[in-house]
Amino acid sequence: MKAVVQRVSRASVKVDSQIVGDIGPGLVALVGVGKDDTAADADWMVKKLLALRIFPDDAKNMNRSVTDITGGILVVSQFTLYGDARKGTRPSFTDAMPPADAERFYHDFMAKLRAATSLKIAEGRFAAMMDVELVNDGPVTILLDSHA
């Protein structure tokens, strides 16, 4: 699994001009599922998202997690994280999990994330065209890869 994680002061996602998910301070996670991902990758990502210390403490050091600040997490499915553009100018997505399998995997991941915390967990809609709005706080952006 891959994720681009951004620390935000607020964020929302719309489908067909309707807000389907929003949070205040917290994390936006653009999440992609690879063809070789397993339940262990989803478990790793859940733990990492909840424990990643990228929020400032009283001394302005990044020592607090989204759990510590009682923030929210907005997850947006993003198969394009598996785009390989090393050759040519059109990315190949052969490393992404096939859509039907990826949808089941994504929903299982979301269930695990919700079960692991009492924080507000919001999400976009799998395979939909979405408008994501966010205010990147810092800016702070972290790349996560369960296979790295």
Catalytic residue among 80, 89, 105, 126: 80
CB 120 within 8 A of CB 112: no
Whether 78 sits among the annotated catalytic residues: the reply is yes
> Which of 59, 28, 58 lies closest to 137, judged by CA?
28
Query: How far apart are the C-alpha atoms of 123 and 75, rounded to whole Å?
Result: 5
Catalytic residue among 6, 55, 67, 78: 78
Q: What residues contact 52, with CB distance under 8 A and at least 6 apart?
A: 5, 27, 65, 66, 142, 144
Whether 89 sits among the annotated catalytic residues: the reply is no
Catalytic residue among 79, 89, 94, 117: 79
Whether 109 sits among the annotated catalytic residues: the reply is no
Q: Which residues are identified as catalytic?
A: 78-80
